[in-house]
Structure 1
Amino acid sequence: MEALALKPGMIKFFIAALSVSLVLTGCGGTNGENGTDTTNTTEANNASTTTSPDNTESPDNTASQDSGEKVTLDFWGWGGKFQTDYTKIVLSEFEKQHPNIKVKYIAEQGIEKLTTLIAGGTPPDVALLDRFMAGAWAAKGSLESLNPYLEIDGEVSADDYYPSVWAEGNYKGELYAMPFGTDNRAMYYNKTLMKEAGLDPEKPPTTISELDAAAEKIFKKTSSGYEQVGFIPWMNQGFLYTQGWNFGGEWAKGEELTPNDPQIVKALEWMAGYAKKYDMAKINKFNDVMGKTGINPFWTGKVGFVFDGNWILNDLTSNAKVKPTFEWGVAPMPSEDGYAQTTWAGGWSWVMPKGAKHPKESWELLKFIAGYDGTLLWGKRADAGNDITAMPKVNEELKITEKERLKVFVGLMEIAHTRPVTPAGQKLWDETFKASDAALNGKGEPKKLLDEAKKNVDNELKKLTGK
């Protein structure tokens, strides 16, 4: 599944994005695809067994790893090609190593359906969930804590994962989600356009001021709009979330959410400055043209700089329309003067829904598919493309840093931010779009808009937590 991306800078998309579910807002990458294929079941074979905590067995979970009694786990994941490939590559190997556990694959049917199953006491044993949702789902009691297993099972350690990725699956000091894949954002830059503008193509901008100066030289007007643009802050992955961090802002301080952090306000003022300087109507017209190409606007050769994810590298092999005829590169996103360059990561996770009937066996599956063995098996598949796994050791073994452009993204993972783990995560995400839409269209001052966002988010958090 591809990441949520604003359709090339079309500001009207901000409004539609407010209603997008968390399944889409969380991340990008190519770990799989959504679908509604019918259930598929993998067949067990012979192999060794493993153990799991003895103190977490539910009344219905009478089978142990050594009993020989069969246990069937309901596994909720994407359908389509992902279901076929994941079953063959990862789940079949798990069953070989756990002959008493059979995995019944259920093609996911949407978040609402999963919520209904959990509320009704008939959830799957293991499910795929946007990692961004883990905090909210844990807060409302929809997920089983994995801490009891971590305390007994030494096979899983936070040290095996990127710090921010592991932290995103934790809520109030307890683990609720095991990482599955990750991604982040960097700057793609058109060396050809830089050279034509008299810029050094081997020295991409590293600060916002340098970016502004370089972008201005690349904009090329027509009688009614733009033939090419230097940079549009909100294009693709240029969300306010992204720019807020690039300006050194913090979206949370402890449990307090801070969308009106002074540096985030400054970021929105900067974005609105572009809308005013380069004329929002002309930018929208350019974006309309780009939207009709059927490809990411960067690949048209008409954009000097854009912030986007590692997953668009896959366009080079998966989209026949993408045939760059220009020189280009990838570098960390520029940051505000005085602040370090950074990025933010998203991704998916495997969880144990509240009420899972076979928690011991579910943990065995979780630690396999999200652990070294399962992660490596999936990372080695033929069409892994430019995926980044959540485990540095696996990425090293896969030698993905040998890919010239991908190594930029991998190198940023150790310092990547993730969106705040909070019950009001969706509200915060929505409010950032709402504020951005208004500011870019001249319908409010950034400070006032973000103060209002802060008020709305605080009210939502109070409603959800009773505090």
Structure 2
Amino acid sequence: MAVGNSGILHGKPARIKIFAAVLAVSLALTGCGASGGGSDASDNGGGNGNGAKADNAGGANDGKAANAEAADDGAGKSTSEQVTLSLWGWSGTFQTDFTKLVLSEFEKQHPNIKIKYIPDQGGTDKLTTLIAGGTPPDVAILDRFLTGSWAAKGSLENLTPFLEMDSEVSSNDYYPGVWAETTYNDQVYALPWGTDNRGLYYNKTLMKEAGLDANTPPKTIDELDAMAEKMFKKSTSGGYEQVGFIPWMGQSYLYTQSWNFGGEWTKDAELTPNDPQIVKALEWMAGYAKKYDMAQINKFNDVMGKTGINPFWTGKVGFMVDGNWILNDLKSNAKVKPTFEWGVTPMPSADGYPQTTWAGGFSFTLPKGGKHPQEAWELLKFIAGYKGTLLWAKRPNAGNDITAMPKVNEEIKITENPQLKVFVDMMPSAHFRPVTPAGQKMWDETFRVQDLALNGKGEPKKLLDEVKKNVDAELKKLQAK
């Protein structure tokens, strides 16, 4: 889960009080105040509580006063002057649609602000270079789970001062875990934008052929194993022409399965990639590779890769973990024409643990060093707040997207789609990758040792102990900067 308590903003220094007062006067004089977006509190609990509070790194706390000061300066400026803001976002149809549906509306409501759209040029490496060089975009999109590492190295503006003076945006507008993922050391560095999670797709036709009840998908790992075993089928050449389940296909990998086994990646402010339940998850995955022959599975995966569609839609996979977004394939990919019955359900879990999911998504941030912090905040809270989120969610080609705001999801009635409802209903209890400066390192390490374990090149316990050693070293290095 994320660092800190969702929605709790600690300590309002005198500087912030002055900031609020100055802003109030400024808004009254210029008429550029907060526009009513409306929000209601989510009835969800505070997430799954598996997050740990990372120690301060990279001068994050030292930057709080500077962040507040920058916000003060922005608030004191007259927002009636013409300002051009740069926004860093994805290129292609996203740029076209987002500009037309969201940014144009913002400019109408804020005639003194113009938006210059900068298509993503080289990903986060290029964005890091711009920030380091003092020429960052005013607003940028960022993978939400990177918030902790970017905040720790001082690359993002602290949004807490803005939130403390502006009631238009609240933690209660978002799913608890989604909001917590934008929080580092109890300070907020991003606003959530969009989310997703994972479920189990199951082929009812193959279940029937295997003598299984097609209306009773597996709820536990043991049930999944038993059902999947009945669905593996080899061709005359000896390779698989059909598989029951592959624990590393689609969105099924160690992070995913760790939570299905009740694993925790953090505990008492410590990163715990070698948690005993995570070890069990990797042992289980490696067991599939050994039982069903990794080489034969790789051949099957190669064949699936040449189809040009998601493996599940080929009708050759009994059970597969994947995200809500593959539902879009049914309309967007002309090759996807399933001739079999199928369904979606929460992922199976190990005995004694609840069925769960994990969620990801993106956020919008204010990169450190922007020249117009107050105007940038106005843009940020519009596009990632109620108004902008609703405008984007109502676009004609929204498909099966899930927004980060429960109220918007309710308003656009996405749960009327029974398959999508499965995913939306899991959002309140979804797990999230830990918000930590070493988050990217731990993510990369899990894939490294997963590959080794599946190919019989190491014991899961020893491999994950190695991950623990490596991420602790990375965290120590980052904290020393």
Do the two structures share a fold, i.e. TM-score over 0.5?
A: yes
Counterpart position of 1:30: none
Local SS of the residue matching 1:79:
coil
Counterpart position of 1:310: 324
Q: Is 1:399 the equivalent of 2:382?
A: no
Matches of 1:330 and 1:132, distance apart in 2? 26
Counterpart position of 1:131: 144
Shift of 1:72: 1.0
Shift of 1:62: 6.7
Local SS of the residue matching 2:312:
helix
Within 5 Å, give how 1:266-305 maps onto structure 2: 266-305=280-319
Shift of 1:255: 3.0
1:34-90, CA deviations, whole angstroms, 9 ceiling, x for partnerless residues? Answer: xxxxxxxxxxxxx9732599974476887423xx31011111111111111111100
Local SS of the residue matching 1:182:
strand
Counterpart position of 1:320: 334
RMSD after superposition: 1.7
Counterpart position of 1:380: 394
1:61/1:357 contact within 8 Å kept: no
Local SS of the residue matching 2:326:
helix
Decide whether aligned partners of structure 1 residues 60 and 250 sit closer, same or farther in structure 2, where only a CA change above 3 A counts. Answer: closer
Matches of 1:103 and 1:183, distance apart in 2? 28
Within 5 Å, give how 1:54-453 maps onto structure 2: 56-57=70-71, 63-65=77-79, 68-109=80-121, 110-222=123-235, 223-453=237-467
Local SS of the residue matching 1:303:
coil
Shift of 1:376: 0.2
Shift of 1:466: 2.4
Matches of 1:54 and 1:273, distance apart in 2? 53
Q: Which runs of 5+ in 1 are unaligned?
A: 1-46
Matches of 1:124 and 1:54, distance apart in 2? 19
1:165/1:179 contact within 8 Å kept: yes
Shift of 1:336: 0.3
Local SS of the residue matching 2:257:
helix
Matches of 1:112 and 1:367, distance apart in 2? 25
Matches of 2:99 and 2:294, distance apart in 1? 48
1:178/1:351 contact within 8 Å kept: yes
1:58/1:357 contact within 8 Å kept: no
1:278-309, CA deviations, whole angstroms, 9 ceiling, x for partnerless residues? Answer: 11111111111111111111000000000000
Decide whether aligned partners of structure 1 residues 58 and 148 sit closer, same or farther in structure 2, where only a CA change above 3 A counts. Answer: closer
Local SS of the residue matching 1:104:
strand
Matches of 1:219 and 1:232, distance apart in 2? 10
1:408-454, CA deviations, whole angstroms, 9 ceiling, x for partnerless residues? Answer: 00000000011000111111011101111111000111001100111
Matches of 2:73 and 2:459, distance apart in 1? 58
One-letter code aligned to 2:129: T
One-letter code aligned to 1:370: A
- Residues matched between the structures, number: 419
One-letter code aligned to 2:145: F
Matches of 1:79 and 1:453, distance apart in 2? 35
More displaced 10-residue stretch of structure 1: 246-255 or 300-309: 246-255
Shift of 1:228: 0.4
Matches of 1:252 and 1:336, distance apart in 2? 19
Local SS of the residue matching 2:308:
coil
Local SS of the residue matching 1:124:
coil
Decide whether aligned partners of structure 1 residues 410 and 60 sit closer, same or farther in structure 2, where only a CA change above 3 A counts. Answer: closer
Decide whether aligned partners of structure 1 residues 99 and 54 sit closer, same or farther in structure 2, where only a CA change above 3 A counts. Answer: farther
Matches of 1:357 and 1:387, distance apart in 2? 33
Decide whether aligned partners of structure 1 residues 112 and 61 sit closer, same or farther in structure 2, where only a CA change above 3 A counts. Answer: farther
2:196/2:359 contact within 8 Å kept: yes
Matches of 1:161 and 1:391, distance apart in 2? 4
